[in-house]
C-alpha cells in the first residue's frame, strides 16, 4: 500500500506532516531543509573542499526528500538544492563580477543570482519529475532517479546560449585513477550514473528496511550489483592503470601577468620588463630541444594584427627554432562592416609564418558575451570583463612534427562532446589554453582542472594545459598529472607528451549513455503515468 501524505491539525494552528522514505512522519518543512542540505553536501564534494565522499550520499538526501509532497513543494526543493549547490561551489562568480566587471555589489549579486536561476531549473525538473513518479509508485521513482539525473546533465551540457555543465556529479570521484577509466567508454556521464545509482541504492536500502520497495526488488538488485561492481574497480588501485610513455616535450610558459579590466594605451611600456622576461624564458625553453613553446589564453592585449606584438611572436619562434602556440585576440570584419573580436589561438612556425588559427567556439556567458542582451538592462556593464567576442565556427586541427593536434580554449574544456569533435577531426594531442587568473585563488581553477583532466581519459589523449597563473600541467591519457607548475609564478614547464591515435568507445559513440538515460526516463515516466496517483497533485 502506497504511503500517503498525512495532514495533522494540532490545537493552536495547523502543521503539515508527511511520511519520509522510511515511513515515519516528518514536519513538511524538513524535506525543504534536507534539500538545501543536500545541495551544500554536494558542493562540499568539489574543490576547494574536496570532500568527494559526500557525493555518494548528497543525492540520496535529495531523492529521499522528494518521495513525498506536492509538485509545488518539489519545485521549491529543487530550487533550494540548486541555490545551495551553486552558492557554496561557485561563489567565485560574484567575486569575478565584483572585481573585474566591475559591478556594484548589488549588480554583481544580481548576475550571480541570474546564473544560479539559469542553472537550477535542471534540479527543479529532477525533483518535480521524481515527486510526480513517487506519487504513483515510490519504487519506480527511486529506480528512475539515476536515469533522470544523467538525462538532465545532458540537458545542462546542450542547452543553447546558457549551457553551464560545471561540476557534473561524476567529477567528484574522478580523482580515483581506476574509477575514472570508465569515462573512456561512457564519458563523464558514466561516473555520474554510478554515483547517482549508488545514492539510489542508499534510498532503496532505507525503503527496504521499512518494507516500502518490495515490488522492484529484481531491478533494484541489478542496479545495486552494477554499482558495486563498478566501485570494486576503484578498490583495485592506481597501480592497475597502465602508464603512458611520452616521446616529446612541450614548453608551457606560465606568463603570470596581472589581470585588468582595461588595458591602457601604454600597456607595453608599463610591462616592458615583464615581456622581456617572457621573451627570454620562451626562447631559452625552445632552444633546449626545439620543442613546441606555448603561451596561455590571451592574458593581455595580444594581437597578431598589431605589428609590435606580431614581431615579438615571430622573434620568439625564429630565435628558439620552435613552433610557438599562443592565445591572441583576432580582429576580423563582421556582418555590419565593423571589426569583430575573436578569442583565438595561433601558431607561428620557426620561419616566422602563421601556420594555424582557431577561434573559440563556446564562449563564456556573461563574460565573453551576454546572451539575450536586449532583455538584460545591465548587459552593457558586463562586456568590459573580457571583451565582447564573436563565436568561431570551425573545429580546427593543426600539424606539428610527429602528429596532429587541436587547441580548445578555457571554458570549452568542460564540454565533453565539444572536445570530442576535435578528436573526431583527427587530433592526436589536445592542448587547452586557459586564463584562470580572473578567479584568483578561489575554487574555480582547481575545478576547471578537475574537469579538463577527464577529457584526456575520455579520448586516451595527452592533454597539455597552459594557463596564465595556474594550473599549468601535463596530463597523460589515463588521467595522471605527470608534470605540474606551481601557481602564481612566472616560468616554464617541461611538459611530456606523445601523439596517440586510439579510438575509445566514447570517441566513437559520443553521448550514448545520457541519450539512453533520456529514453529510459521517458519509459519510466510512461510506466508511472499508468499508475494512479496517491494524492491529487498540487
Domain-embedded: residue 506: no
Q: Check: CB of residue 494 under 8 Å from CB of residue 324.
A: no
What's the sign of the alpha-carbon dihedral 470, 474, 475, 477?
positive
**The domain that contains 379 carries what CATH number?**
3.60.110.10
Residues 77 and 27 in one domain: yes
Can you give the pTM of this predicted structure? 0.88
Residues 179 and 326 in one domain: no
pLDDT, one tens digit per residue, over 314-324 is 999 999 999 99
Q: Please check whether residues 395 and 293 belong to one and the same domain.
A: yes
Does residue 226 or residue 270 have the better pLDDT?
270
Structural domain count of the chain: 2
Task: Looking at the structure, tell me whether residues 302 and 341 fall in a common domain.
Answer: yes
| Residue 159: predicted pLDDT | 87
489 compared with 259, residue with greater pLDDT:
489
| Parent domain of 316 | 248-499
1 within a domain of the structure (yes/no): no
Q: List C-alpha distances in Å: 2 to 25, 166, 217, 495.
A: 14, 37, 16, 60
Instruction: Enumerate the β-bridge partners of residue 333.
Output: 339
Contact indicator for 77, 62 with CB cutoff of 8 Å:
yes
Q: Residue 371 domain-assigned?
A: yes
Give me the DSSP letters along 255-303. --PPP-S---TTHHHHTHHHHHHHHHHHHHHHHHH---EE--S--SS--
Q: Is the pLDDT of residue 26 over 70?
A: no
Cα–Cα nearest to 249, from 425, 46, 402:
402
Question: Are 191 and 269 in a shared domain?
Answer: no
Q: Is 310 contained in some domain?
A: yes
- Are 212 and 289 in the same domain? no
Classify residue 409: in a domain, yes or no.
Answer: yes
In a domain, 18, yes or no: yes
The reply to whether 25 and 136 lie within a common domain is yes
Q: What is the pLDDT of residue 455?
A: 98
Whether the CA torsion 136, 142, 147, 153 is positive or negative: it is: positive
C-alpha 270/C-alpha 275 separation (Å) is 10
**pLDDT of res. 217:** 57
- The answer on 252 and 227 residing in a single domain is no
Higher pLDDT, 56 or 228: 56
User: Which pLDDT score is estimated for 107?
Assistant: 77
Q: pLDDT digits over 103-141, tens only? A: 777 877 887 888 888 889 999 999 999 999 999 999 899
Residue 57 belongs to some domain of the structure = yes
Q: Is the pLDDT confidence value at 297 over 70?
A: yes
448, 521: one domain: no
Q: Does 10 have pLDDT greater than 60?
A: no
Same domain, 236 and 302: no
> Is 8 within a domain?
no
With bands split at pLDDT 50, 70 and 90, how would you rate the model's confidence at 24?
very low
β-strands 481-484, 473-475: how paired?
antiparallel
**Per-residue pLDDT band at 19 (split at 50, 70, 90):** low
> Taking the CA of residue 409 as centre, how many other CA atoms within 13 Å lie in the half-sphere pointing to its CB?
29
Closest CA to 172 of 41, 80, 302, 273: 41
Q: Are residues 475 and 409 in the same domain?
A: yes
109 and 211, same structural domain?
Answer: yes
Residue 337 is predicted with a pLDDT of 73
Higher-scoring residue by pLDDT: 35, 262: 35
Amino acid at each position: 500500500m502506497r504511503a500517503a501524505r498525512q495532514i495533522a491539525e494540532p490545537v493552536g494552528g495547523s502543521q503539515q506532516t508527511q511520511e519520509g522514505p522510511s515511513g515515519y512522519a516528518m514536519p513538511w518543512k524538513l524535506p525543504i531543509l534536507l534539500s538545501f542540505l543536500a545541495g551544500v553536501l554536494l558542493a562540499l564534494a568539489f574543490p576547494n573542499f574536496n570532500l568527494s565522499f559526500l557525493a555518494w550520499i548528497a543525492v540520496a538526501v535529495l531523492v529521499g526528500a522528494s518521495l513525498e509532497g506536492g509538485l509545488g513543494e518539489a519545485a521549491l526543493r529543487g530550487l533550494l538544492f540548486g541555490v545551495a549547490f551553486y552558492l557554496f561551489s561557485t561563489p567565485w562568480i560574484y567575486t569575478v563580477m565584483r572585481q573585474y566587471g566591475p559591478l556594484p555589489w548589488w549588480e554583481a549579486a544580481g548576475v550571480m543570482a541570474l546564473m544560479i536561476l539559469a542553472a537550477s531549473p535542471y534540479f527543479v525538473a529532477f525533483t518535480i519529475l521524481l515527486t510526480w513518479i513517487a506519487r504513483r509508485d515510490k519504487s519506480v521513482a527511486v529506480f528512475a532517479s539515476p536515469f533522470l539525473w544523467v538525462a538532465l546533465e545532458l540537458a545542462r551540457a546542450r542547452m543553447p546560449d546558457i549551457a553551464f555543465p560545471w561540476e557534473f556529479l561524476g567529477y567528484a570521484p574522478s580523482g580515483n585513477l581506476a574509477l575514472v577509466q570508465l569515462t573512456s567508454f561512457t564519458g563523464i556521464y558514466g561516473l555520474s550514473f554510478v554515483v547517482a545509482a549508488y545514492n539510489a541504492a542508499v534510498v532503496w536500502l532505507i525503503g527496504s528496511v521499512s518494507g516500502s520497495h518490495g515490488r522492484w526488488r529484481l531491478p533494484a538488485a541489478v542496479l545495486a550489483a552494477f554499482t558495486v561492481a563498478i566501485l570494486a574497480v576503484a578498490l583495485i588501485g592506481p597501480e592497475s592503470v597502465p602508464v603512458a610513455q611520452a616521446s616529446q616535450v612541450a614548453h608551457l610558459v606560465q606568463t603570470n601577468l596581472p589581470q585588468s579590466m582595461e588595458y591602457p594605451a601604454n600597456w607595453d611600456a608599463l610591462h616592458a620588463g615583464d615581456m622581456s622576461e617572457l621573451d627570454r624564458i620562451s626562447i631559452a625553453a625552445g632552444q633546449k630541444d626545439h620543442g613546441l613553446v606555448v603561451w596561455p589564453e590571451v592574458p593581455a592585449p595580444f594581437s597578431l594584427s598589431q605589428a609590435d606584438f606580431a614581431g615579438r611572436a615571430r622573434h620568439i619562434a625564429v630565435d628558439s627554432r620552435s613552433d610557438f602556440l599562443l592565445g591572441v585576440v583576432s580582429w576580423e570584419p563582421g556582418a555590419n562592416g565593423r571589426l569583430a573580436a575573436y578569442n583565438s589561438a595561433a601558431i607561428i612556425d620557426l620561419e616566422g609564418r602563421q601556420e594555424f588559427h582557431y577561434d573559440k567556439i563556446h564562449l563564456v556567458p556573461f563574460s565573453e558575451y551576454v546572451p539575450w542582451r536586449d532583455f538584460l538592462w545591465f548587459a552593457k556593464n558586463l562586456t568590459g570583463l573580457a571583451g565582447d567576442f564573436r563565436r568561431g565556427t570551425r573545429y580546427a586541427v593543426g600539424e606539428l612534427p610527429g602528429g596532429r593536434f587541436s587547441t580548445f580554449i578555457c571554458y570549452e574544456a568542460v564540454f565533453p562532446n565539444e572536445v570530442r569533435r576535435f578528436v573526431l577531426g583527427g587530433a592526436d594531442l589536445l592542448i587547452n589554453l586557459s586564463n584562470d587568473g580572473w578567479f584568483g585563488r578561489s575554487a574555480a581553477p582547481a575545478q576547471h582542472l578537475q574537469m579538463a583532466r577527464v577529457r584526456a581519459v575520455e579520448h586516451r589523449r595527452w592533454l597539455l594545459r597552459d594557463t596564465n597563473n595556474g594550473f599549468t600541467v601535463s596530463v597523460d591519457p589515463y588521467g595522471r598529472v605527470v608534470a605540474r607548475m606551481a601557481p602564481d609564478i612566472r616560468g616554464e614547464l617541461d611538459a611530456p607528451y606523445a601523439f596517440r591515435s586510439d579510438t575509445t568507445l566514447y570517441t566513437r559513440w559520443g553521448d550514448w549513455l545520457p541519450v539512453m538515460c533520456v529514453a529510459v526516463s521517458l519509459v519510466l515516466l510512461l510506466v508511472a503515468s499508468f499508475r494512479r496517483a496517491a494524492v491529487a497533485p498540487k
